[in-house]
Structure 1
């Protein structure tokens, strides 16, 4: 299975979609069927060329599905599929976010094509959850952690968040990203959706420059008409405490930019959860 790719881990995989696709295409093995999700043309051409070279049968999601729509709700991601064979399905995924609708469709295509589908599949897909994927930890205020760390995944996450919590200038984001990201583009996306921003360190396992990130956010904010509150709080625990102080019970806190940050804030929340026992989801 090849899910949509974009520019990430560029120091290792390459600095273009074509180079990254070339690296990831090596998962295609001789004679083994390959299933490809919605891809940019640049990536798709690389994957198809490798599949042809390996004499692997290809199955494209875009060839199998007529339409796909999804809506983020408080209960989960409401997804509707219309397949080209005439089948129509509606699922309520536990994992929120439009990207989950695409991933689930690709999984269904794999299972049906390989003859592995059963009546247990749809309930299992609906219940499936992955920690750090728009994971709700608390309510009043709502607290979410998500590992979105690329431009497209961040944009999709912010749209899903907006579907639930609107464009309130009182929502708060705790954000931190690693060194090799498109910081300017991602910072502008955050500034489009939040006016209360806390920059925090995304762990210490990989390099990050949160001081530089803080400066970038302030520089970009100065070019806008809105009034922003941007804080630099390196420690994840202190960042979470500050977010709670800044955010009303009727608003929401979103943590994103790195799985390391999502994990750090989740661990901090677990340490102080007794203080917020009545707010647990």
Structure 2
């Protein structure tokens, strides 16, 4: 699929407007007003914030709604390979990424409405989301926050069907604060007076308290994981329970024990938003859900062919200590079953806690290959990143690319050893580059 028109238009905007984030609602509100306030003409909105698990919650919510026969728009960010991944439009048989011509036309119209005034590209692209979703019919819209919540450009939605807040931990400290309660307060900024709230499994009690107190203050009914709803693994099944009863479901297709809680949060959110989800539909959703670049198993492609034969290769764009913990736990669970040594191929950007991320793999990973992140100007030099891994107690060395790391591993692998497990991760930029180079972009 050609995406040259949309890419060209976005690249043009990048040269005209500041990069990065400037958290405010004034500029996007002004622009949306000129477009006729499309954010007020959306189908029921599931608005999702959080540090980790937002994307999984969006994927589960989409799978649940589509399995139940609803037509669903989905906005997520960032994209991995192509810009159009941010906009999935409702369609019979399941949503599809927006076509290049429709995306390019919508971007052009939004940019013209801005009249050259100061704005960030993310704000323009958020306005594109609302215009696309208002102009194409759907039963529901799932909208993921870009950064924070309170001043994120998506937070112009006045009456969401439900606000879903996933696990909160330290990330983006330069924008959101360096204490978890400050970050939780920013995430809780998506809560609207009187509109229902679902709180996913929080690792930090302080974060949960801040979110619940915000909901109470605004008169917003709140459901909390572990109180009004929960999920448990029993005999290899996912048992979901809320105040209306139990669902006995297949285990989530997305690997990792944390996905049970993510699935439960999505089920609670979709039901709270007013959608009927049968046990059969929920079961189908657990078996069909897909979320590229997050604990995604790579089984074929140009990069896979460079690895040791039989290697078990995983790709995950998680990039902060909280993500490191859940990824490491998921891989440790497999270690019990597979008895294969784990190797990491990691690239990270300089706004992340690199040592904190690596610390989660202490005692699990045999060795780390650090690589540059070519798609970001903020990429940490691979030599410096190896030093951060060393600080976390890991054996590490810098190499020039993911391809070279895989070939180095292949060329030094003993024939009598069990094939390795390989995790490629540390950055969504790296995950996107890997999917592109491997020839397996999201669909």
Asked whether the equivalents of residues 344 and 369 of structure 2 are also in contact (C-alpha less than 8 Å), the reply is yes
- CA shift in 2, pair 1:56/1:83, >3 Å: closer
Choose the corresponding residue for 1:144, options 307, 314, 318.
Answer: 314
1:176 aligns with 2:339: no
Is 1:118 aligned to residue 257 of structure 2?
A: no
SS of match in other structure, 2:325: helix
Contact residue 356 and residue 392 of structure 2 kept, 8 A: no
Question: Which residue of the other structure, out of 191, 195, 217, is the alignment partner of 1:28?
Answer: 191
2-side partners of 1:133 and 1:250: how far apart?
A: 22
Q: How many residues align?
A: 260
Unaligned runs of 5+ in 1: 72-76, 272-281
Instruction: Tell me the secondary structure at the aligned position of residue 5 of structure 1.
Output: coil
CA distance in 2: counterparts of 1:220 and 1:173, whole angstroms: 13
C-alpha contact 1:200 1:235 (8 A) present in aligned 2: yes
Q: Distance in 2 between matches of 1:63 and 1:146?
A: 30
Q: CA deviation at 1:112?
A: 2.8
Deviation of 1:87 (Å) = 1.7
Query: Do 1:187 and 1:217's aligned partners in 2 also have CA atoms closer than 8 Å?
Result: yes
Could you tell me how far apart the structure 2 residues matched to 1:160 and 1:78 are? 17
Q: Does 1:200 align with 2:371?
A: yes
Q: Say which is worse superposed, 244-253 or 206-215, in terms of deviation.
A: 244-253
| Structure number, greater radius of gyration | 2
**Cα pair 1:81 1:90 within 8 Å, conserved:** yes
1:1-281 to 2 correspondence within 5 Å? 1-39=164-202, 40-65=204-229, 68-69=232-233, 79-83=238-242, 86-119=245-278, 120-138=281-299, 140-166=310-336, 170-209=341-380, 210-221=382-393, 228=395, 230-247=396-413, 250-270=419-439
Mapped partners of 2:436, 2:418: distance in 1: 21
Once the two structures are superposed, residues 131-189 of structure 1 have per-residue CA deviations (whole angstroms, 9 ceiling, x without a partner) of 01110112811111011212122111112112224485743210122212222232232
TM-score, structure 2 as length reference:
0.53
Alpha-carbon distance, 1:18 to partner: 1.1
In 2, the alpha carbon distance for the partners of 1:26 and 1:121 equals 29
Q: 2:419, 2:192 → 1: CA distance?
A: 51
Name the TM-score, length of structure 1 as normaliser: 0.81
SS class of match (2:275):
coil
Quick one: structure 1 residues 114 and 154, their matched pair in 2 at CA, closer, same or farther if it must change by over 3 Å? same
> What CA distance in whole angstroms lies between the structure 2 residues aligned with 1:55 and 1:129?
35
Q: Residues 231 and 266 of structure 1: is their aligned pair in 2 closer, same or farther, counting only changes over 3 Å? A: farther
Deviates more, 1:233-242 or 1:78-87: 78-87
Compared CA separation, residues 25 and 206, structure 1 to 2 (3 A): farther
Q: Distance in 2 between matches of 1:253 and 1:27?
A: 37
Alignment partner of 2:227: what SS?
A: helix
Per-residue deviation, 1:96: 0.8
Q: Which runs of 5+ in 2 are unaligned?
A: 1-163, 301-309
Report the aligned-residue RMSD. 2.7
1:216-274 C-alpha deviation (Å, 9 max, x unpaired): 333554xx8xxx4x220132332333344345662211112111122222323339xxx
Question: Residues 124 and 81 of structure 1: is their aligned pair in 2 closer, same or farther, counting only changes over 3 Å?
Answer: closer
Displacement after TM superposition at 1:66 (Å): 5.5
